[in-house]
Amino acid sequence: MKMSLLEETKKILRAYGIRPRKRLGQNFLVDGEILDKMISYASVCRDDVVLEIGAGLGFLTERLADVSGRVIAVEVDPKLFKILSHRLRNRKNVDVLMEDILRIKTLAFDKVVSVPPYSISSPLLFWLLKRDFRCAVLTFQEEFSRRLAAPPGTEDYGRLSVAVYYHSDVELLDRIPKELFWPTPKVNSTIVRLKPRKPPFHVDEEEEFFSFIRAVFTQRNKKLKNAVAVFLSGSTFSREDLICLANTIPFCGRRVRELAPEELALAFSYLRRELGSMKR
């Protein structure tokens, strides 16, 4: 009788004397149907180089190797890396890297299929959105997933929502009950699919725009004219001039959480243009 993924997970970890590390978000997805479904959602084929982040024990890696041209499996934990290297040693189309994904600067891949550690969800998302790829299918905690697709004015709408909207189309696909992970986490998860696309609006300086977004969303419940104080705090202009400027920004009387990404972009562009004029 074939061993279940849960039984196999426990057996492998026991053989290597490993206990899952909560600090690293090590909760292993032990449902093969969900793993197969993720691969299907990414439409993985032999032409694809697939990145897997947090490869764990290699159950997803093996499935990806069966259908893709090449798999880049990244794992930061040296003990799990040892297991992966041994289990996948005969897989000629798998490269196993012991790396912190957030520290990798250059990496070429077509698609991402992964159950990444939830402890790095936010920085991983921003890392990924700066890369060139065609499709990513990942699992995130349910609450985090809602933030990725949240519309303006909702409780979950924030910096992440704006960043994802700017860079890609996002779909929340299947809900994964927490019982399908081991050890069982406290919350359920969601399969998310990201497909990069051309930004739906233009800003002159993307990095500066997202610094603006990060700053104003620290004051998401305040009116925009008050929230921009965080972004303007390093300015050399007088307090009076900055207050005057803040009161002329488009949508200045509306709360940050109510503003659509396009409206925030208009406010940023106006602010940047006026600050440039004040310097001349």
The answer to whether 237 and 229 are in contact (CB under 8 A) is: no
Q: At what angle do helices 224-232 and 261-279 cross, to 10 degrees?
A: 50
Matching fold, domains 5-196 and 206-279: no
Distance of CA 71 to the CA centre of its chain: 20
Bridge partners, 137 (sequence order) = 113, 193
What fold is seen in the domain 206-279?
Helicase, Ruva Protein; domain 3 (1.10.8)
**Peptide bond preceding 183 in cis form (omega within 30 of 0):** yes
The pLDDT tens digits of the residues spanning 158-181 come to 999 999 999 999 999 999 999 999
**Digit-coded pLDDT (tens) for 207-230:** 999 999 999 999 999 999 999 988
- β-strand 135-141 against 189-196: which pairing, if any? antiparallel
pLDDT-wise least confident of 6-10, 20-24, 195-199 = 20-24
Rounded CA separation 161/133 (Å) = 19
Angle between the N-to-C axes of helices 159-167 and 206-216, in degrees from 0 to 180, rounded to the nearest 10: 150
pLDDT at 107 over 80: yes
Q: Judge whether 158 and 147 are in contact, CB under 8 Å.
A: yes
Kindly tell me if the per-residue pLDDT of 238 is higher than 80: yes
DSSP string, 28-87: EE--HHHHHHHHHHTT--TT-EEEEES-TTSHHHHHHHHHSSEEEEE---HHHHHHHHHH
- Joined together, the tokens standing for residue 26 give 């090590």
pTM: 0.93
Kindly list the domain boundaries of the chain, sorted by start residue.
5-196, 206-279
Residues 16-34 pLDDT 10s: 998 887 766 678 999 999 9
Class of the 5-196 domain?
Answer: alpha beta
CA nearest 121: which of 151, 154, 160, 155?
160
Q: Which amino acid is it at 263?
A: E
Cα–Cα dist 9/12, whole Å: 5
